[in-house]
Amino acid sequence: MTVQPPASTAPVAARTSTIRTHHGDAFDDPYEWLRAKEDDEVLAHLRAENAHTEGATAHLEGLRTRIFDEIKGRTLETDLSVPSRRGDWWYYGRTVEGQQYGIQCRAPLASPDDWTPPQLEPGVDVPGEQVLLDANVEAEGHEFFSLGSFDVSKDGTRMLFGVDVAGDERYTVRVRDLVSGQPLPDEIPGTFSGAEFTPDGSGILYTTVDDAWRPDTLWLHAVGTDVASDVTLFHEPDEKYWLGAGITRSDKYLVISVGSSITSEARILDTADLTAEPKLVWPRTERVEYSVDHAVVDGEDVLLIVHNDEALDFELVRVSAEDPQGERRVLLPHTPGQRLLDVDCFRDFAVVEYRRGGLARVGLLDYGSGEVDELPFDEPLYTAGTGGNPEWAPPLIRLGYDSFVTPGTVYDYELSTRELLLRKRQPVLGGYDPGDYDQARVWATASDGTRLPISLVWKRSFGDAGRSPRPLHMYGYGSYEHSIEPRFSIARLSELDRGVVFAVAHVRGGGEMGRQWYEDGKLLQKRNTFTDFVDCARHLIDSGYTSPDRLVAEGGSAGGLLMGAVANIAPELFAGILAAVPFVDALTTILDPSLPLTVIEWDEWGDPLHEKTVYEYMKSYSPYENVRTDVAYPRILAVTSLNDTRVLYVEPAKWVARLREVGADALLKCEMVAGHGGVSGRYNSWKERAFELAWLLDVLGLADD
């Protein structure tokens, strides 16, 4: 049964009439005044909400401490990542017990033929090690710290890093001379994430955003010059498109990518002359998406392009880099149900990543034969992908792998022997045994007959999931074609070890089952996302996995919209709902093109500003506008951040105020110095997760366990 917290007086937000009129519909929004972020009354209200939440959850302080200690006790706090080779150095990261942030380091290769990463031991000095960036030092004096850019020039003599100390994802880039160890005078404020050096290290490529927080301009900064003289390489004026850029692994081209969520366009620049006119790859065509990488095949510079032009689940083609709009040679034809995700080119082969049967797959593409050798993995549920492969002609490929029960694992795949070489598995202290846990996939049926995958993980000692109703924590997202992968989590062990079953409902709008899965959960089919989640919950209840008084749902950002929608659709199915940075005032946001990202988002949600049908459809599901007076809501915890630029704090603040009007037990927790990802620093993030899990366990009646 649900344990109710001690009674406390909740803040009551003042009601002030604000009329919003569109398409002949007038909506009186009583809490829109909470949008005035700098207003003293708004800040006072948010602090009162925090005080109320702290008071209402004070009885969980001991449990929060225990969960935090469990997370900390299972984590090897002083640890190192697996080194990745680049140029003449092995690059890796360190963490040190008691320190919030990571430390970026490097050590010299033993020889030019050295491709076996050194076996590093925590606390043991590495011969020739250089500390490049200690984020703990850089974060001193700041409540929030985030590293948005980090790069070392190819010759290893310079380093750049971009820092955000507010949480608004606007980074100041600084440069350091790695020979002398001294900072250079270069300082570039207001950048987006992902700045990088040019191949010769003399310049820095970076992007900036417009007033709507849309990356729209690519710049070239010459190291050692005033930022006022930086050169604009490309500007995208269309407010529906964002801009990104990156240098190919071959160092031959700079690829400038422009895109919305449904349309792409790319240009290439030879890095030998970055101030030349960029060459258009394919002109933008509505609803055609593509990505580009460079390869050399039979001595010719070619572009490998993943695209969906008359290929719903995408195909891979090859074109001449000299004439990219010329003949297309199909390398991997469109295969319905197998969603081709990406191609990663190396000198002698390419790595392709794709989804089939709801799981991510990795294969090696032979340039000559066109054959793909898929890498085998044994578990029924897993996550695999490439990472840490900066070299152009390596004899092995770095892979990341994990599952719900297998901790994060780093492999090198040796090309000559086709062998997976285990480099490291994330240590879990305290005697963790993956055999103590089990994972499975079950299928629910949506109201329209669609089969919906649900992934489950549980601890075996409590019995098999589904044998009898158990406390169950159900997660969902379902937007932007983003797939929720079966990943390992140390923090999750604190609930599994208390008998909770963890489930992921892979609802439409995500990307788990291919592009059509995404198309069927967006725009005027968005309701499928919400009803799928409800149908998954009903399946788990009807099949004996759980019961409504033992079921808590969680989602964040667009998944927070999902949480708000299902709270309105089927509140009777859930004991609690945890909504992180929730997009619960969706219509108000998407109606305002001056807000960050709004115009870009019209391809995902529709354009309610200009289309009455979209306006009416969004108004029918936007959680804030559809809070009901005829139902009893489950307990709700909404977590947000004052400086979030993606989903503004005002959305959950308004939602909680409206829920309180109808008697809901709704709590708001607002971080006053943080962004979309919440607090910074690993210990702070552990405390934040311990707070959320303690609330969740309290709802499930497990607070005393």
Give catalytic residues, as residue numbers. Answer: 557, 644, 676
DSSP assignment, residue 311?
-
Torsion, Cα of 315, 321, 326, 331 (10° steps): -30
Give rounded-to-5 percent helix, strand, coil for the chain.
20, 35, 45
* DSSP SS3 for 510: strand
Burial 414-441 (b: 16+ CB within 10 A, else e): ebeeeebeebbbbebeeebebeebebeb
Rounded CA-CA distance 212/215 in Å is 9
CB 466, CB 544: distance < 8 Å? yes
Tell me the two tokens of residue 219: 């710049």
Burial 526-535 (b: 16+ CB within 10 A, else e): bebbbbbbbb
The counts of H helices and E strands in the chain are: 12, 39
Rounded CA-CA distance 193/454 in Å is 34
Residue 130: φ, ψ to 5°: -120, 130
Q: Is the dihedral of CA 633, 584, 166, 103 positive or negative?
A: positive
Burial 15-26 (b: 16+ CB within 10 A, else e): eeeeeeebeeee
DSSP assignment, residue 476?
-
Rounded CA-CA distance 361/313 in Å is 14
| Number of residues in the chain | 705
Distances (CA, A) of 59 to 3, 5, 56, 205: 11, 7, 8, 51
Torsion, Cα of 639, 642, 646, 652 (10° steps): 40
Tell me the two tokens of residue 315: 């195909």
Distances (CA, A) of 490 to 111, 124, 383, 485, 496: 37, 25, 16, 15, 10
Torsion, Cα of 57, 631, 473, 63 (10° steps): 10
Tell me the two tokens of residue 229: 């003289």
End-to-end CA distance of the chain: 13
Burial 232-245 (b: 16+ CB within 10 A, else e): ebbebeebbbbbbb
DSSP bridge pairs for 103: 94, 134
Tell me the two tokens of residue 309: 């032009």
